[in-house]
Structure 1
Amino acid sequence: MFAQIERIEPPFWYAGMYNPKLQIMFYGKNIAQFLVTVSNSIKITNVKRTENPNYLFVTIDTKNVKATECIFTFKDSNKKAFTQNYSLKQRRENSAQRLSYDSSDMMYLLMPDRFSNGNPNNDSDTSTTEKYNRELPEGRHGGDIQGIINHLDYIKELGATTLWITPLCEDNEAVYSYHTYAQTDVYKIDPRYGTNEDYARLAAEIHQKNLKLVMDYVTNHWGLQHWMMKDLPTQDWIHLFENFTQTNHRRTVIHDTNASKIDTKICMDGWFAPSMPDLNQANSLVLNYLTQNAIWWIEYANLDGLRVDTYNYADPEAIAKWTKAITDEYPNFNIVGEISMRDHAQLSYWQKDSPIGKIQNFNSYLPSLMDFILSDALLTIFNEDGNWETGMIRIYNNFANDFLFPNVNNLLIFAENHDTQRINHVYKNDIGKYKMTMSLLATVRGIPQLYYGSEVGMAGNKDNGGDAAIRQDFPGGWEGDAINAFTKEARTQGQNEYFDFTSKLFNWRKNKSVLHFGKMTHYIPEDNTYVYFRYNATDPSVSELAEQSVMVLFNNSSDTKTLKTNRFAENIGNYKTGKDVITEKIIDVTNEIFMDAKSVLILELR
């Protein structure tokens, strides 16, 4: 009886890749008993069989091979044979040199199931276990790819330039599958979101509007219902313990020279959750599978970047190889890793070419990091009156440690995301505090990220309602919603106040290279006020026309303040006035500046 090939992954590939070696996984009953050859003078460089006879890993060399349809022939010991076609497609022109996101961008994070239901026909699917139930806070609510496409103009109007969408690949867990981080097929878009073709269409629509698309990629774990979990390619494809063992989440063991072996093993090999088997990236087959899968999506959907979930939960040396392989393939490509460390040296350890990593001869090759330290501060400071350690000094101290990072402009900065408290809950929908938060994100170093719905005042208390409370449906994303926050006419007055401020701020930021790449000088906070400057004049040779300077002032006190400006003379220099970028009023900066309590001013100096 001939083997039946049930899966081929990658399902197709591309000619002209930087790395010409392609490892194809063939899966089918007793496929390993067959000898394999390939047509078109393509060379097979390796055939890997494992203890599971249902897998065959075949590596071919695609160097100098043009786009073609090739044929694999499988023969058993009795010379009986069958064939399988395989495509090497033509890459997009200049695919390898694609540009990515950087500090000139603003990233908009959304959860597709909770953003907008553009196609009610795919709310449930016969192939998936969990069905549509919008009445259940942590159920499937029906948001999808078409819903995102329908509202790209809204996202662009907001001032965003880049979309980070939480994972879209199939998650066929029985419950709580809406977050899609427990993926069960990483070559297939979840049918409740749409199809692979819909995802490629989303990318095309995004690019037509001069926006960028970032895929949320998971290297550390899959879902328990992933098709491979029922028939593992190798016994060590995932980490297994005698009894279920969850990670201790103590990521410091990675660089801790005093860490015990057992603590390190549980940290690295323990499962993130009972429904999320921990992948063994140290297994070269696993690592190559994950690497090729990421590259396949970049090529197929024409992606502009990646965000990697739980980046430092994977094997450090292996994930560094994964990252380097992708950035070798795409030299301008940006990848931001979720590194939830709350210490500047420990966070810096994970950025490419970090001086901290070099101490232990480690280089992650990861271009960008998520700045959780700044996020923690932004979720508390505007509720603090301020003393030696609280209030604006938290922000000052954060930036005082920028020297530890090899590329501080390539940090992703945010106040909140899909795992944290909502800022509008923390600040009790005080729009003044929201404005202070957004103003800081828009004017300091790094890549600002905004979480969907905050721009119209969405809140939600994670302490009471769990994750579902911070991942509520966007108002207007479903037919019949009482309020449609996607349009100015249908938004409430309060929602428009949030949106209008956010839109004006981040659209202004788009064209300010001084904020994207300029230098920063900040002054020690006094009485919970904080002042800093962003500027691009580095020496007297800079022309007057090219010189730009922005002065940012925070009064985080509960009292009005009058700030004497002589203290800031080294940055004010010969400037006489500043234009408030929100109100467009002209303010004299030569003597003193009056500020309301709990307020911010952003001034373009003139």
Structure 2
Amino acid sequence: MKKLIALLLLAQIGFAQIQKVEPPFWYSGMKKTELQLMLYGKNIGNSVVSCDKATVVGVIRTENPNYLFVNLDLKNVPAGSLELSLTQGKKVEKRTYELRARRKDSANRKGFDSSDVMYLLMPDRFANGNPNNDSTSDTADKFNRSSQDGRHGGDIAGMKKHLDYLEDLGVTAVWSTPLCEDNDPKTSYHGYAQSDVYRIDPRYGSNEEYVDFVEAAHQKGIKVVKDYVTNHWGTEHWLLKDLPTYKWVHQFPGYGQTNYRMTTQFDVNASKIDSRYCMDGWFVRSMPDLDQTNELVLNYLTQNALWWIEYANLDGFRVDTYSYADKHAIAKWTKAIMDEYPNFNIVGEVWMYDQAQMAYWQKDSKIGAIQSYNSYLPSVMDFTLQGELGSALKEEESNWTNGLIKVYNNFTNDFLYPNTDNLLVFFENHDTQRFNHIYNGNFAKYKMALAIIATVRGIPQIYYGSEIGMQGNKDKGDGDIRRDFPGGWSGDTNNAFTLAGRTAEQNQFHEFTKKVFNYRKNNPVLHFGKMKHYLPINNVYVYFRTLNEKSVMVVVNNNKEAQTLDLTTYNESLAGYRTGQEIVTGSKLEINKSLSVPAQDVLIIELQK
């Protein structure tokens, strides 16, 4: 009889239907005081919701009875526990919800900027620090290092293990491709088809390990940039298997392929159907396109981003496929983050090869203003420079359009950007052809390209392995440009993480990279200095960075033969300087009437009076 009474009481008091609450916890003292909780559980949609310490200011129900969206006003609610109550008739379910205290001065955290050097790595291919998580019982894609598209076992433990290597190289910021769970049955290693955006993929580690990695990086003066995906999730996302609402994703109905034509976002002549298929089309069939115009989706993405910043103590986001999202909705998402963290930084992937079109997407763009548009996006990626570096250095005999004039011309359009210091400059990344493949491992070409991205305006970004001459051919598949870093796995015969383990060729690349990045690290003139450049002569490009009384002269000679520069050409930048020190070799140079530059070489000269 007592057992029967207990069961009856349980049926009336606790029907235990809530399966998920997201965000899983939150923070007190946020500038935006309203929080939207998403509750998920079987047939909870008709429940009456109350909270003991916060005011319920709204409850949103959708056509799916398994969801409830609850808006709470957290103004003046201190850190601690809240109690949510869901009532259906006489049945009541109670759930404790945690409000955590923020870190001291969290809102004023400083994001990455032009004083940084950013290192892009793919966790699965960088280093395997914990072989025990190479495969897990709750993820489908298993360890298979023999396949270029398989899981190779790299993880957060491997990233943490080699922070000393990155610090020594001169790196001050790390951007890793997505670490959240991607449970696609194959090719999941890249992480862009996320299946749970509140959970680190267990093959990389745990949420706690990620937080620990960020703390360890910060102790070495290295910032951490999270790769964030607003445009799409993977088909294996738990939420997409039971959609909160039909309009959570773009429906055609079902799958519709994007046309990838980002110009339709601002083309005044574009047809509506072309614009729709750009913004609403799915990137690939396995990545359903999220509908950010749905306020429920936008709130979810915004809160998830804020949660990760606060929880993991992040320094920035790189946003994947930024210009494929609805441009007005993504601007709201970006502004919400920057309002909460005014000194944070976000760089958007705007993969276009036209400066005006890229500049459209940067915050306070005068081009965007023509259409009364402001993305609020602080930084964009300088794909035009990446494109030119992939071809200009092949052209050793210059003419009106070929050779280093291409690089020069890239910077002639800087007037289009609201903030050139906040452009990400690079010559390759995880989606492009490997630079050292394009140039067949030619060290001279690497030196010129590396010196350029390290000394021009903006934030230099290098892709893992570039610094040891790593190659890879995208024509053989993406996996070939995402090879394992040698030495990241037990048993690797070549350990490029150490001086002794590197080959002579790898050391040649590494030593030059280390020298240039560490010089840059300690010289604000290369972070914030004004740039002045001169028309290339005989395929020799000369430019200066100047800040206060300090000036650095960069000479890039892509000619097959040594060149002697007539320094009177550069008098307006050289006035008052008599000598200089070349920072790679350490040699002293006379800044007199002429300067000899070796064939296919680069000089980085700190000028001295």
For normalisation by structure 2, the TM-score amounts to: 0.97
Give the AA of the match of 1:153. Answer: D
User: Given the alignment of the two structures, is residue 287 of structure 1 paired with residue 298 of structure 2, yes or no?
Assistant: yes
User: Given the alignment of the two structures, is residue 144 of structure 1 paired with residue 155 of structure 2, yes or no?
Assistant: yes
1:35 to 37, 48, 66: 48
Give the deviation of 1:3 after TM superposition: 5.1
Per-residue Cα deviation, 1:424-464 (whole angstroms, up to 9, x for no partner): 1111111111111110011100000000011011101111x
Does the 8 Å CA contact 1:101/1:162 hold for their aligned counterparts?
yes
Does the 8 Å CA contact 2:255/2:288 hold for their aligned counterparts?
no
Does the 8 Å CA contact 1:237/1:286 hold for their aligned counterparts?
yes
3-state DSSP of counterpart to 2:535: strand
Tell me which residue corresponds to 2:607.
605
Aligned equivalents of 2:16, 2:132: Cα separation in 1: 36
Segments of 5+ residues of structure 2 without an aligned counterpart are 1-10
Tell me which residue corresponds to 1:489.
500
User: Given the alignment of the two structures, is residue 516 of structure 1 paired with residue 527 of structure 2, yes or no?
Assistant: yes
Tell me which residue corresponds to 1:480.
491
Give the deviation of 1:378 after TM superposition: 1.1
3-state DSSP of counterpart to 1:131: coil
Give the deviation of 1:243 after TM superposition: 6.2
Give the AA of the match of 2:197. Answer: V
Aligned equivalents of 2:297, 2:251: Cα separation in 1: 15
Aligned equivalents of 1:530, 1:477: Cα separation in 2: 38
Tell me which residue corresponds to 2:75.
63
3-state DSSP of counterpart to 1:202: helix
Tell me which residue corresponds to 1:437.
449
Give the AA of the match of 1:574. Answer: G
Aligned equivalents of 2:91, 2:142: Cα separation in 1: 44
Aligned equivalents of 2:348, 2:211: Cα separation in 1: 23
Give the AA of the match of 2:571. Answer: A
3-state DSSP of counterpart to 1:271: coil
1:403 to 415, 421, 425: 415
Give the deviation of 1:578 after TM superposition: 1.2
Give the AA of the match of 1:292. Answer: Q
Tell me which residue corresponds to 1:527.
538
Tell me which residue corresponds to 2:210.
199
3-state DSSP of counterpart to 2:175: strand
2:185 to 174, 184, 189: 174
1:52 to 47, 54, 64: 64
3-state DSSP of counterpart to 1:416: coil
Does the 8 Å CA contact 1:212/1:304 hold for their aligned counterparts?
yes
Tell me which residue corresponds to 2:587.
585
1:341 to 352, 364, 387: 352
Per-residue Cα deviation, 1:50-89 (whole angstroms, up to 9, x for no partner): 000000000101111110101001111x222110000000
Superposed counterparts of 1:107-146, under 5 Å? 107-146=118-157
Tell me which residue corresponds to 2:8.
none
Per-residue Cα deviation, 1:70-127 (whole angstroms, up to 9, x for no partner): 1001111x22211000000000000000011100000000000000000000000110
Aligned equivalents of 1:96, 1:594: Cα separation in 2: 51
Tell me which residue corresponds to 1:360.
371
3-state DSSP of counterpart to 2:441: coil
Superposed counterparts of 1:57-456, under 5 Å? 57-76=69-88, 78-242=89-253, 244-385=255-396, 386-456=398-468
Aligned equivalents of 1:4, 1:157: Cα separation in 2: 52
Tell me which residue corresponds to 1:559.
561
| Cα separation, partners in 2 of 1:22 and 1:138, compared to 1, 3 Å | same
Give the AA of the match of 2:473. Answer: N
Give the AA of the match of 2:416. Answer: L
Aligned equivalents of 1:491, 1:154: Cα separation in 2: 13
Tell me which residue corresponds to 1:12.
25
Aligned equivalents of 1:481, 1:57: Cα separation in 2: 51
Tell me which residue corresponds to 2:4.
none
Tell me which residue corresponds to 1:540.
none
3-state DSSP of counterpart to 2:470: coil
Does the 8 Å CA contact 1:3/1:29 hold for their aligned counterparts?
no
Per-residue Cα deviation, 1:11-65 (whole angstroms, up to 9, x for no partner): 000000010000000000001111010012x111110000000000001011111
3-state DSSP of counterpart to 1:71: strand
Give the deviation of 1:273 after TM superposition: 0.3
Aligned equivalents of 1:486, 1:140: Cα separation in 2: 21
3-state DSSP of counterpart to 1:141: coil
Does the 8 Å CA contact 1:108/1:163 hold for their aligned counterparts?
yes
Give the AA of the match of 1:453. Answer: G
For normalisation by structure 1, the TM-score amounts to: 0.97
3-state DSSP of counterpart to 1:587: strand
Aligned equivalents of 1:127, 1:456: Cα separation in 2: 36
| Cα separation, partners in 2 of 1:198 and 1:17, compared to 1, 3 Å | same
Aligned equivalents of 2:547, 2:96: Cα separation in 1: 56
Segments of 5+ residues of structure 1 without an aligned counterpart are 538-546
3-state DSSP of counterpart to 1:280: coil
Give the deviation of 1:574 after TM superposition: 1.7
Per-residue Cα deviation, 1:531-552 (whole angstroms, up to 9, x for no partner): 1111123xxxxxxxxx101111
Per-residue Cα deviation, 1:358-394 (whole angstroms, up to 9, x for no partner): 0000000000000000000111111112211111111
Give the deviation of 1:412 after TM superposition: 0.4
Aligned equivalents of 1:348, 1:55: Cα separation in 2: 40
Does the 8 Å CA contact 2:231/2:289 hold for their aligned counterparts?
yes
Q: How much identity, in percent, do the aligned residues show?
A: 59
Tell me which residue corresponds to 1:544.
none
Tell me which residue corresponds to 2:575.
573
Tell me which residue corresponds to 1:541.
none
Say what the alpha-carbon RMSD is for the aligned residues: 0.8
Does the 8 Å CA contact 1:578/1:605 hold for their aligned counterparts?
yes
Aligned equivalents of 1:530, 1:603: Cα separation in 2: 14
Per-residue Cα deviation, 1:291-349 (whole angstroms, up to 9, x for no partner): 00000000100001110000011110000000000000001000000001111111100
3-state DSSP of counterpart to 1:603: strand
